[in-house]
């Protein structure tokens, strides 16, 4: 059973700054987690998890980190924060 997705303004702003292909990968991952919330590794007492999405582009690796709260009662995943790090390949 699916959970609803809710993005904070901060998380939405970070995701909008990403390249389109990377945005697609992040949203695909969020849809997967919404469909299968048990995949989210919750380790915080408030049902919080840090989930990362890694994507290898032509110039290097992109890491997107998402702070997600799982609300089982309301069947909702709330993405409160997001971050992005790019590491170029070594030549």
The full set of domains in the chain, from first to last, is 4-88 (3.30.2310.20)
11: tokens are: 């998380």
Contact between residue 88 and residue 20 where contact means Cβ atoms under 8 Å apart = no
Q: What is the mean pLDDT of residues 6-34?
A: 95
Closest CA to 74 of 6, 15, 25, 27: 6
Pairing of β 4-7 and β 76-88: parallel
Encode pLDDT of 26-70 as tens digits: 999 999 999 999 898 887 677 888 999 999 988 899 999 999 999
Contact between residue 39 and residue 49 where contact means Cβ atoms under 8 Å apart = no
């Amino acid at each position: 059973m699916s959970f609803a997705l809710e993005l904070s303004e901060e998380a939405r702003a970070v995701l909008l700054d990403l390249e389109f292909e990377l945005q697609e990968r992040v949203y695909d991952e969020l849809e997967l987690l919404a469909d299968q919330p048990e995949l989210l590794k919750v380790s915080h007492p408030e049902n919080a998890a840090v989930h990362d999405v890694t994507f290898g582009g032509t110039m290097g690796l992109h890491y997107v980190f998402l702070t997600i709260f799982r609300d089982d009662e309301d069947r909702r995943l709330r993405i409160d924060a997001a971050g992005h790090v790019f590491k170029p390949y070594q030549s």
